[in-house]
Chains A and B, each alone.
Chain A
Amino acid sequence: MTAILYILLAIVIAVAIWQVASIFNLKGVIATEKDNNTQGILFALFGIFFYGLMIFSFWKYSVILLPDSASIEGESYDTLYMVTMLLILIVQAITQFLLFYFSFKYRGIKGRKALFYADSHKLEMIWTIVPAIVLSGIVLYGLSVWNDIMDPSDAENPLIVEVYAKQFQWEARYAGEDNELGLANVRNIKGINTMGVDMTDKNALDDVPVRELHLPKGRKVIFKFRSQDVLHSAYMPHFRAQMNCVPGMVTQFAFTPSMTTEEMRLNDKTIAKVDGINKIRAEKGEDPYIFDYLLLCNKICGSSHYNMQMKIIVEEEAQFNAWLKDQKTMAQVVVQ
Chain B
Amino acid sequence: MSDHHHKETFVTKYVFSQDHKMISKQYLVTGIFMGIIGVFMSMLFRLQIAWPDHSFSIIEAFLGRHQDGGVMSPDIYLALVTIHGTIMVFFVLTAGLSGTFSNLLIPLQIGARDMASGFLNMVSYWLFFLSSVIMVISLFVEAGPASAGWTIYPPLSALPQAIPGSGMGMTLWLVSMAIFIASSLLGALNYIVTVLNLRTVGMKMTRLPLTIWAFFVTAIIGVVSFPVLLSAALLLIFDRSFGTSFYLSDIFIQGEVLHYQGGSPVLFEHLFWFLGHPEVYIVLLPALGITSEIISTNSRKPIFGYRAMIGSIIAIAFLSTIVWGHHMFVSGMNPFLGSVFTFTTLLIAIPSAVKAFNYITTLWKGNLQMNPAMLFSIGLVSTFISGGLTGLVLGDSALDINVHDTYFVVAHFHLVMGVSAIYGMFAGVYHWFPKMYGKMMNKTLGYWHFWLTAVAAYGVFFPMHFIGLAGLPRRYYANTAFPLFDDVADVNIVITLFAILGGAAQIIFLANFFISIYKGKKATQNPWKSNTLEWTTPVEHIHGNWPGEIPAVHRWAYDYSKPGHEEDFVCQTTPLKEGEEES
* Chain A interface residues toward B at CB < 8 A: 1-3, 5-6, 10, 13-15, 17-18, 21, 24-25, 27-31, 35-36, 38-40, 42-43, 46, 49-50, 53-54, 57, 61, 63-66, 74, 77, 80-81, 84-85, 87-88, 91-92, 95-96, 98-100, 102-103, 106-109, 112-120, 123-124, 127-128, 131-132, 135, 138-139, 142-143, 145-147, 149-151, 166-167, 185-187, 189, 196, 225, 228-231, 233, 235, 237-238, 240-244, 246-249, 251, 253, 273, 276-277, 280-281, 286, 289, 291, 294, 296-307, 309
Contact = CB atoms under 8 A, between A and B. Distances in A.
A145 B488 contact: no
B322 interface: no
B48 to A, nearest CB: 11
- Chain B interface: which size bin? 35 or more
Nearest to B328: A244
B576 interface: no
Nearest to B464: A57
- Give the interface centre of A5, A15, A29, A281 by most chain B CB atoms within 10 Å: A29
A100 to B, nearest CB: 8
A80 B398 contact: yes
A114 B361 CA distance: 12
B65 interface: no
Interface string B50-75: 00000001101110000000000111
B444 interface: yes
Contacts of B458: 49-50, 53
B141 interface: no
- Give the interface centre of B74, B358, B444, B527 by most chain A CB atoms within 10 Å: B444
Contact of A108 (B57, B370, B488): B370
B517 interface: no
A248 B511 CA distance: 53
Interface stretch (B229-237, B286-294, B402-410): B402-410
B382 interface: yes
Contacts of A296: 473, 482
Contact of B366 (A114, A131, A150, A228): A114
Contact of A300 (B331, B404, B475, B481): B475
- Give the interface centre of B363, B369, B378, B398 by most chain A CB atoms within 10 Å: B398
Contact of B487 (A53, A116, A276): A276
B561 A113 contact: yes
Contacts of A124: 305, 308, 354, 358
B252 A64 contact: no
Q: What is the interface of chain A mostly: helix, strand, loop, or mixed?
A: helix
Nearest to A131: B353
Given A38-B370, A80-B398, A149-B401, 12 more contacts: A74-B402, A81-B393, A98-B360, A131-B350, A146-B339, A187-B257, A228-B251, A229-B252, A230-B162, A235-B471, A299-B153, A305-B476
Contacts of B332: 225, 243-244, 246, 249, 251
B469 interface: yes
B500 interface: no
A306 B477 contact: yes
- Give the interface centre of B78, B366, B477 by most chain A CB atoms within 10 Å: B366
Nearest to A85: B393
A39 B470 contact: no
